[in-house]
Amino acid sequence: MENKICIPISTDIIHELLLRNGPESDVSSWIESVIYTYLGDTEQDDGWTDEYYEYLGRRTSKSDFKEKYGDPKKGYRWQELDLPNGTQLYMEYKKERHYACVKNEKIIYKDEAYSPSQLVRKITNTTRNAWRDLYIQYPGKNEWKLADVVRNSLIKK
């Protein structure tokens, strides 16, 4: 079970959210989504501390993060996209999910290193657009985002 805390929010704000999204909307999940978006948008900022990376390692895995994934400040560079060590990737093909992970600055799938396009080709045995097939989950995050959506959000900045 995930631990939760309560944060007081003005009823006027809650009413406005319900008016905009409908009375059946899950306001709590929507607020969490906004916060995750903020965290993702500020992930590349210079303000991250060593304490954050220590916390990230404890939260992501019970074993030592550095030992399992490598230096949390490093990762794999996919064109304009930075995938820090510990980033998870998946692709769904023929109703089966195939998972890979960034470890020691490489994308690892079934103990082999691949580029994103090589990974998609390995899974499908065809040439496809990895940006439109791979989903990304950054270390310490809960949500998965399509690689193309992440890339486009960086381009718009």
Beta carbons of 106 and 76 less than 8 angstroms apart: yes
Q: For residues 141 and 86, give the distance between their C-alpha atoms in angstroms, rounded to a whole number.
A: 11
pLDDT in tens, 9-18: 888 888 888 8
pTM of the model: 0.60
What are the residue boundaries of the structural domains of the chain, listed by start? 42-155
Report percent pLDDT > 70 for the chain: 82
Q: For residues 75 and 111, give the distance between their C-alpha atoms in angstroms, rounded to a whole number.
A: 17
Q: For residues 89 and 86, give the distance between their C-alpha atoms in angstroms, rounded to a whole number.
A: 10
Q: Does the pLDDT at position 57 exceed 60? A: no
Q: What is residue 102's predicted lDDT score, i.e. its pLDDT?
A: 96
pLDDT in tens, 66-105: 788 888 889 999 998 999 999 999 999 998 889 999 999 9
Between 21-35, 102-116, 123-137, the lowest mean confidence (pLDDT) is in 21-35
